Amino acid sequence: MSDQGSPGAPARSAAGLQHPADGERTSAPFGRRLLTVAGIDELGAYRVLRVADPDGPVPEPGQFAMIAAAERWGGGQDERPYLPRAFSYVRHSAGESHFLLEDVGPGSRRLCELRAGDGLWALGPLGQGFAPPRGEGRRSILVGGGVGIAPLAILGDTLTTPASVLLGFRDAPHARGASLLGGAELATDDGSVGHHGPVTNLLAGELRRDSHAAVYACGPPRMLEAVRAMCAAHGTPAQLALEAAMACGFGACFGCVVPRRGGGYLRVCLDGPVVDAAELEHVHDHAGEQR
């Protein structure tokens, strides 16, 4: 989606993974809302934060929320965090929104400390989610890496046809996150669970067997770049859920941009976080994000 439909915006991919028009995307209530933490569950190296949100809109797979602890948001490492943090919805069911946390910096650390009954500021659902498959007989392949498996869980819930699920993790404690999705084939960097190597090795095998597929991926930039390149080589359409540091999450700050194929930038929060791989020349690694 380009700002105001400016000329030169790339068309959606040949495979017709058409996003709904903006008017049809699920929009967030205007203003952050004070929600209550329903619970927090350990999941290996991760936590699943469950937040009571009975009145909020049901997010589309791939959409995200900007969240912050209502109390003591600040005063951690380097006197941070200050800004809310962007998290994809893992699931939204029975009036609860779920988010997948990994303690990687002062923001996620504070969120990991939350307990049932604590307050949470949330703005969402935001952004452009995954476009549903358009029934061309393509099978779905979900590819996730690390904490990036989050939006694939909610996506998997909505797919009406069986999908291959390929998930990669650092090690066994992280691989326990795979239980969020059923029937996944696993890869780990240290070989402790499943295939020893990057998850994209598994994808390469899948595409060699049958490239008439639609790929949905979320994970670290290097993984996404490998997915992009591999799918481009096979002519397989791919939707990539990008991660970027954001200040606002709704297009105000222009901070979360990534280069668009053919020039200019996309705002990850507004034009993404899910983008058609064809819109990108490369998935850039910003030398690691500030966490």
Partner 1 sequence: MSVRFCGLELAHELINGSGTFDAIAARRAFGEELETGFPFAAYVSKTITLAPREGNPPPRLWEAPAGLVNSIGLPNKGLDAYLEQDLPALAALTRAAGLRAEESDDGRVPHMVPLITNVMGSTAEEFSRLVEACDVREEIAAVELNVSCPNVKTGLDIGADPRMLGEVVRDVRERTGKPLIVKLTPNTADVAACAQAAEQGGADAVSLINSLRATALAPLGTARPHRPWLGGGTGGLSGPAVRTVALAQVAAVAEQVAIPVVGMGGVQSAAHARDLLDVGATLVAIGTESFRDPRAGARIAGELRTNAAG
AA identity, residue 37:
V
Contact residues for partner 1 (CB under 8 A)? 3-4, 6, 22-23, 25, 27-32, 68, 74, 78-84, 121, 123, 126, 244-258, 263-265, 267, 270, 284-290
Nearer to partner 1, 196 or 282 (CB): 282
CA distances to 64, 210, 272 from 214, rounded to whole Å, are 22, 11, 18
Closer residue to partner 1 (CB): 23 or 54: 23
> Residue 109: which of 83, 76, 67 has the closest Cα?
76
Q: State in angstroms the smallest separation of the CB of 231 from partner 1.
A: 24
Q: Given the complex with partner 1, which of 233 and 252 has the nearer CB atom? A: 252
At closest approach, how far in Å is the CB of 53 from partner 1?
17
The two tokens of residue 199 are 């998850």
CB of 250 to partner 1, least distance (A): 4
Residue 285 CB, shortest distance to partner 1, in Å, is 8
Instruction: Return the exposure string of 175-187: e unless at least 16 CB atoms fall within 10 Å of the residue's CB, then b.
Output: bbbbebbeebbbb
What is the CB neighbour count within 10 angstroms for residue 160?
9
**Pairing relationship of beta strands 64-69 and 91-93 according to DSSP bridges:** unpaired
Measured CA distances, 258 to 33, 91, 159, 245 (Å): 29, 26, 28, 11
Q: Which is nearer to partner 1, 220 or 251 (CB)?
A: 251
The residue among 123 and 240 lying less far from partner 1, judged by its C-beta, is 123
Least Å distance between CB 80 and partner 1? 6
Indicate the angle between helix axes 221-234 and 199-209, nearest 10 degrees.
10
Q: Please report how close the Cβ of residue 113 comes to partner 1 at its closest, in angstroms.
A: 19
Helix (H, G, I), strand (E, B) or coil at 223: helix
DSSP annotation of 94: T
39 vs 220, which CB is nearer to partner 1?
Answer: 220
Residue (25 or 195) nearer to partner 1, CB: 25
Cα–Cα dist 256/268, whole Å:
6
| Cα–Cα dist 124/209, whole Å | 39
> Minimum distance between the CB of residue 197 and partner 1, rounded to whole angstroms?
23
Residue 135 beta carbon to partner 1: minimum distance, rounded to whole angstroms: 27
97 vs 236, beta carbon nearer partner 1: 97
**131 CB-side CA count, 13 A:** 25
